[in-house]
Structure 1
Amino acid sequence: MATDIPTIKLESGALIPTLGYGTGTAWFKKPGDQGIDQATVGAVTFAIKSGYRHLDGAEAYGTETELGIAIKESGVKREELFVTSKVEKGIDDIQKAIDATLERLQLDYVDFYEAYLIHSPFFARNDNDLQSKWAEMEKAQQAGKARAIGVSNFLQPHLEAILKTARIKPSVNQIEYHPYLQHGDLLTMDKRLGIVVEGYGPLTPLTRAKGGPVDELVARLARKYSVSEGSVLLRWSVDRGVVTITTSGKEERIKEFLDVLKFKLTEDEVAEISKLGEQKHYRAWWKSKFAADDRS
Structure 2
Amino acid sequence: MSKVITLNDGSKMPAIAYGVGTAHNPKFRQVFGLPDFDSTQLIVEALNMGYRHIDTAEQYNKDDELAAALKKVNIPRKDLFITSKADCNNGLSVDEALTQQLARLDLEYFDLYLIHNPRFAKNDKDIQEKWKEMETVHRSGRVKSIGVSNFTKAQIQPILEVATIPPTVNQVECHVYEQHGDLVSWMKSEGIVTSCYSSLAPIIRGRPGPADDKFGELAAKYGVKDGDIAMKWCLDQGLAVATTGKSLDRLKGYLEKFDKFELTDEEIGGIRELGLQKEFSNYMQIGGGPQF
Task: Indicate how the Cα distance of structure 1 residues 285 and 149 shifts in structure 2: closer, same or farther if over 3 A, else same.
Answer: same
Identity of aligned residues (%): 39
Task: Tell me the secondary structure at the aligned position of residue 149 of structure 1.
Answer: strand
Partners of 2:10 and 2:115 in 1: how far apart? 20
> 1:260 Cα shift?
2.8
Give 1:1-296 correspondences, 5 Å limit.
Answer: 6-29=3-26, 39-88=38-87, 89-90=89-90, 92-107=92-107, 109-110=108-109, 114-258=111-255, 259-285=257-283, 288-290=289-291
Partners of 2:146 and 2:10 in 1: how far apart? 12
AA in 2 matched with 1:281: E
AA in 1 matched with 2:20: T
- TM-score, with normalisation over the residues of structure 2? 0.91
Contact 1:239 1:265 in 2 (8 A): yes
Partners of 1:257 and 1:50 in 2: how far apart? 11
Contact 2:150 2:291 in 1 (8 A): no
Contact 2:178 2:279 in 1 (8 A): yes
Unaligned runs of 5+ in 1: 31-36, 292-296
Residue by residue over 1:224-259, the C-alpha shift from the partner in whole angstroms, topping out at 9 and shown as x without a partner, is: 111111111111110111101111112122112222
Partners of 1:64 and 1:239 in 2: how far apart? 32
Aligned length: 280
What is the root-mean-square deviation in Å for CA atoms of aligned residues? Answer: 1.9
Unaligned runs of 5+ in 2: 28-35
Q: Which moved more, 1:69-78 or 1:231-240?
A: 69-78
> 1:187 Cα shift?
1.0
Contact 1:21 1:47 in 2 (8 A): yes
Residue by residue over 1:4-24, the C-alpha shift from the partner in whole angstroms, topping out at 9 and shown as x without a partner, is: 971111122210111111110
> 1:215 Cα shift?
0.3
Task: Tell me the secondary structure at the aligned position of residue 244 of structure 1.
Answer: strand
Task: Tell me the secondary structure at the aligned position of residue 235 of structure 1.
Answer: helix
Task: Tell me the secondary structure at the aligned position of residue 285 of structure 1.
Answer: helix
Contact 1:232 1:260 in 2 (8 A): no
Contact 2:187 2:194 in 1 (8 A): yes
- TM-score, with normalisation over the residues of structure 1? 0.90
Partners of 1:160 and 1:29 in 2: how far apart? 35
Contact 2:49 2:252 in 1 (8 A): yes
Contact 1:124 1:130 in 2 (8 A): yes
